[in-house]
Structures are given as structure tokens and as C-alpha cells.
Chains A and B, each alone.
Chain A
Amino acid sequence: MKFETDVLIIGGGITGASIARELSQYDIEVTVAEKSPDTFTQQTKSSHAFIYSDASLVNAVSLVLKSILDPEAKLWEPDSPKNKFANRGHALFAPLAERLDIPYEPLKCLVVARNDEQMQGLKKLYEITEEMGIKNDVKWLNPQEILDMEPNVNPNVQGGLYSEKSAKIVFPPDYAIANIDNARDNGVHFLYDAEVTEIETQDSGKRFVSRTPRHSITSKFIINAAGLYADKIADLANARDDWDIILFRSQMVLLDRSIATRFKTVNMILGPPAPGFFEGICLQTHGNPYIFCGKYNPIEDKGATETRSEWFKENLEHGKGLLGGFSEADVITSFTGVRAFNTRDREENIIEFSKNQPNFLNAAIRLPGFTFSAAVAEHVAELMQGRGVKLTKKSDYNPFRKGIPRFKQLSEREKEELIRRDPAYGRVICRCETVTEGEILEAIRRGARTIQGIQFRTRAGMGRCQRNFCGPRVVEILARELDLPVSKISKEGAGSEEIMYNSVD
């Protein structure tokens, strides 16, 4: 299939999706090529999805983590590009979430120290927040104040810091999908199963022909938002200047939602970070607590997302050390997330046109990608204008998007009304998360074609039983709606079909 487009965005993760949404307000043709059958597979889905401003307790924590690189370096540099992007991204987020119907919560963060060494770390953290000038947000708490705030926290706490402003948390798929829905509503083409394997440069860099196994896409510009694979994509067009991608991974453990009752006030409890080490337990927007801890473990293999038993143990130990009151039986799932950094400056993003390839824009974003996303998108549009692209607003641009109704969260009256309008909302498919057939059908109408696509859009199968009951049923609904045999319904693309053979085979 041949396509012509003004701008080709490679990668449909949070960065690609945000850029697509930003550019969709202008009168240019935008196409997104995503290698998977549905949007976002790698960093986006396993992200924390924190959105925090530059001057915030959460950012101070990440600055301490960074000091592993250079213990002498000055940690707080208010004017660094990264901090500016964080600030701008944070400022853009709330109004965007309003327009795109993205559920989010303020990230109320408590950092607790349980021994003398951690108290040192806590003091260091406090100094940074003082430097940041956010005394009105960050409070120093004594043990009694901590236990009043969070009665279930480790009783051996010696001191803590608390902040409730300047940071927010979303469920990662909610944010990514909202961007994609809105971009598509405004005319962006999304190509799935479209792994770009070849980029041909024509007209001395004025035109690119990108090939995937099924498409040939001619474009004037390419925006490389391929995340973990940004290096590979840049290499295809000889557009990687002086950077490489390095990867780190760590495992997270999700707990049953019944553990959410252990949190009283806050939704994140951290230990004071040491250089290169972190531990925390966080309550997700949709109610599942999860534990994260460890170091960022370097890896070569981009797909090495296996879990390990020592990391299971480590996570549970740290989680219990912070909050406690749960056991191994409360684990519902676990996964390993991979994070990409660039080697030029691990602390910074790369958002620039390639020196070699003037119409090829690299957007290699480090964490926190969700924080940066809206600001990065805005900056990309500015860079395009700087390249002489005329960005005129579309007359029919629609800045609003409505999410799939979440039956579970509606009031009784709203539930009743919804079932009256569409009886499919009366049929509960996923019992653990109370997800109805109506929500699943709506997800399919909006482009979900895989089991994960349904999971991420509706949360069907993400609860306590992990698809034990609803798994087979979701596969059948997908097969019925897409008019495919069940043996063609995959978890995340070809080769991952859950049922290999139909009864008729």
C-alpha cells in the first residue's frame, strides 16, 4: 500500500501520540507508523506515568538518583532544558486532561526514613527542595505526624517529607490512548503492524520513502519517536548524530486492590533514594497498589522484559518495609519495564533535527516521558515551523475527546441510563474489574484489535483473577466483532495468538 503524507511519525508511544495530537490541529497530513498491532507496547505501558513539575519533591527524588553518575555534580539546575520541559509539560497537563477526558489524581507523596542513614538521605532531599524554593509544598514530618497521616506505614519511621502539590498520576494507557483518539478524530492516519524496516532518502534529503512489510510511505518529514528503537530508526536514514541508546530495566509488582485500604491519605510512599537506588509503593489511579524498587539494571537486549524471582523477593521486601500489611498472596501480577536514555547526556532529551538529515527530527525522550510529552509535542511543532513548515490551524479542529464510559465508576442512575441506551453495558464480562460488554465493544470500535488493546482500554482482565474467567470470552468477542476466527486473535500481534486452532481446523 502506498501513502503520501507531509509528516511521518515513527512510533505510537506516549511521545509519538502526543506529537500526533499536537500536529493534528494544523492543516498538514500526519501519519503514524507503529510496529505493533495496537498503540504503545514498550516504555509507555510499563511507565509510572507521573507528571511532575521541575520544582517538586518527586523531581528532587529523581535528582538524587542521578547523583550516581557524578557525586560532585550540582543536582538542581533550574535552567536545564529538561527542567523547563518538565515545568511546561506539567502546566499543560491538567487542561489537556480536562479536554481529553483523562482520569488523574494528585500525586500525594510521602518520603519516609527508617534509619540514620536514610535520615541523611532525607535531609539531602529536603535541602534540594529548599533550593527549589517549594517550602510551601514540602513539609517535614516527625514520626507521630507520619503515623497520623498514614497509620499503616512502617512504625520505625524517624522522619519524613510530604508533598501534595506539583505532581499528578495517570494510568499510562489512559493518557496515551486519549492522545491517539483525539489525533485520529482530527485526521491523523495510524498504521499498525507497520514496523519501518527501510528508509530511502530522495531529492537530497527533501523526501523520504519509508517501507514497512505492508506499506510504502512517502513523506517530507520524519519524526523519530521510536523510544527504545530510536537508534535503529535513526540509523535507517543515517540520521543518528552523536548519540546512542542505553537501556535499563527494573521489575514492578502489582498488588490486589484490597490492599488500597492500607493507604489513608497519600498515594505514594517512598524511601529516601540513594544514588542509583529507589524503593516505593504507589497507588494507581484505578486502585491497584504497586511496588517498585531496585537499581536500573543495564541491558543490551531491548526485548528482555522477563521477570526474575530475586526481583519478586526484593520488591516484596521493600514494599513490606514501607507499608506492610500484605503478603505474597496479594500479588496479582508483575512485569519488567525497560527505560531508554541517550548516551550524549543521560539527563537530557534529544529533540532536534539531525545534522546529517535536515528533515529528520529525532525525539529520543528519557523518563519521565509522560511529564515531558505535551511540552515535547509543542516544541516539535515550533521546530517544524522553524524549518519553514507553515502551520495553520484547521477550521474544524476538535480539541475534545470523550473516553470510553467506565461503568464501574458511574453512579447508579448513570449506570441505569447507560444500559437503557445500550443494553450491552448491562452484561458484565470481567467480574474482578466490573467491565461490561458495552465497554469492550466501544474499545473495538475505537480500534482495539488485540487482547492487550482491550485490556488497556477497558481494564478487562487486569484484576485479581488475571483473565481466568473473562480471558476466553474477550477473545470470542474480538473474533465475533472483527469477523475473524479465534485463532487469529492475538495478545500483541502475530505469533501471540492465544488459541492456536479453531474447532473447525
Chain B
Amino acid sequence: MKLLRLIIFATFVFATVKNGLAADPFVQGVEFSHAGQFPEAAVAFEKSAQAVPAAGTLVNLGLAEWQRGHAGAAILAWEQARWIDPAEPRAAQNLAFAREVAQVEAPTLKWFETASTWLPPNAWVWLAGASLWLAVGLLVLPRIFGKRKSGWQQSLAALAFGVFLFGLTANVGVVSRTQLGFVLKKNAPLRLTPTETSELVATLPAGEAARMVRARGNYLFIRTATEAGWIERAQFGFVSAAR
């Protein structure tokens, strides 16, 4: 009797876990990708990434979008994967490959933006916060508790303050990188004014990197390496999804 109950319980647990895995959009996306159903795979990975943004999910989303012929969406997904995890090797490999095939350049970063790519954005902010309060604490707490500041405390405070200053610049780089984005559609029109009937300045290839300067209505004023103009919001995707 006990054995029978155990078998029933094990079957129930197995079925629950199996159903849970089957309903996971990431698992569904992988299955669709293996079956060559890339539109469905892209939908599943996108759903998974919206629920929980994850580097691996975005890598796979980029692969599905690339297979569908959406170079812009693929490059954006891989950049987002690197935003979450700068050490993600697949994203770096795919970005290099895609930029070679699509003949588009990687975005040009300032030094503090480059520094901000060494760690995930949230790590920088925690690092800066922790180092600041460590330095402040080491300087203030001994006085509060009526104790003398020792040499090692002062050295550590100085080091923490130095880390804070460097983290601050990296944080500025993170905020600055939130304005980076990529052209999603092929031959996206870049216009002189933020209107549908405006004169064309240029047509941008999918995956072209650009930096948003300002927004007006349904249009964004962006600056690429060579051009500047207005583009429709729907044709431009931000790396950080903060804008």
C-alpha cells in the first residue's frame, strides 16, 4: 500500500514538473528552433525575455530573429544579452559575425562607457554605493563610537573612495549607454523633421548603431556615425529598454 502511494506521488510530481517545463516559453523556443520554426521560436523567446530578461534567452532570441532575416532585431537582442552579462561569449561571437555579414559597425563608445562594459550595469551601481558608504563609515563611525581611527581604516577608506570615484564614472557610462540603440528595420528612413512626409536624409541598414538625442511624439532624433535625423520609434530599439 505504501509502495502504491509512493508510485502515485512520484507520477504526480513527474507530471507536474514535465508540464511546467513544457509550458516554459524558453523550452518551447528551443524546441521550435530545433524544428526550424523560427517565427514561433522568436515569439516564445521574446515572451520568456519579457517575463525574465536573461542573457541566454536573448542570445537565442537573436538567433531566431537572424534566421527570420531580422538582422536589426538580432543584433539588438545580442547587445541586450551583453548588457545583462558582458562576459556572454555567444553574444559576442554572434555580434561579430552579424556585423561582418550585415556590414554594420559596432557603436563607438567613450572611455567611461567602455569602462562601464566591464561589469553588468547594476554591479557598478552597487559597487559605487557600497564603496561610498564604506568610506564614509570608516571615517565617521570611529568618531561616533569614540575610538581612534587606525591607519588601516584610513587606508581602506581612501581605497573605497577611489573605487567609488571610478564606479561613479562607470555609472555615468551606464546612463550614457542607455541612449544607445539599433535600427530594427531594413532601409529605415531617416528624416529631416519628425513627420511622415518629411524629406529623407538617408536610409539606414538594419542593425546600424545610433545614439538618441531627443524624442518628439512618435519620432526620435538619432545620431549615427555619419548621419543625424528623425526615425520612427517602432524602427529603433534601445539596448537598455530604459527610454
The judgment on whether A and B are partners is no
User: Which A residues contact B (CB, under 8 angstroms)?
Assistant: none
